[in-house]
Amino acid sequence: MPMGALLARPAGSRRQNDVLMQPQLRRIVDELNHAQARLDRLADDVAEDRWGKRSDPSRWSVGECVAHLNLTGAAYVPRIRQAIEEARRLPKTGTRSYKRDPVGWLFGTMVGPLPMIGKMRIGRVKTTPAFVPSGDMPKQQQLAEFKRLQIELVSLAGESDGLPIDKVSITSPFGEKVHYNCYSAFVLLPRHEERHIQQAELVWSR
pTM: 0.83
The answer to whether residues 169 and 83 touch, using CB atoms and an 8 Å cutoff, is yes
Q: Is the pLDDT of residue 12 over 60?
A: no
Average pLDDT, stretch 14-30? 77
pLDDT tens-place string over residues 163-205: 999 999 999 998 888 999 999 999 999 999 999 999 999 999 8
pLDDT tens digits, 86-118:
999 998 876 789 999 999 988 888 776 655 445
pLDDT of 20 above 90: no
Least confident of 77-86, 129-138, 155-164, 196-205: 129-138
| pLDDT surpasses 70 at 9 | no
Q: Which pLDDT band, with edges at 50, 70 and 90, does 127 fall under?
A: low
* Angle between the N-to-C axes of helices 182-202 and 62-88, in degrees from 0 to 180, rounded to the nearest 10: 170
Q: Specify the range with the lowest mean pLDDT, choosing from 21-25, 62-66, 88-92, 111-115.
A: 111-115
pLDDT recorded at residue 10: 44
pLDDT at residue 18, rounded to an integer: 45
- Tell me what pLDDT residue 125 has: 57
Mean pLDDT of the 25-42 span: 97
Q: What is the DSSP string of the chain?
A: --HHHHS---TT--STTSTTS-HHHHHHHHHHHHHHHHHHHHHHHS-HHHHT--SSTTS--HHHHHHHHHHHHHHHHHHHHHHHHHHHTSPP-TTPPP---HHHHHHHHHTSPPPEETTEE----PPPGGG-----S-HHHHHHHHHHHHHHHHHHHHHHTTS-TTSSEEE-TT-TT-EEEHHHHHHHHHHHHHHHHHHHHHTTT-
Mean pLDDT of the chain: 85
Q: What is the dihedral of CA 7, 10, 14, 20, to 10 degrees?
A: 30
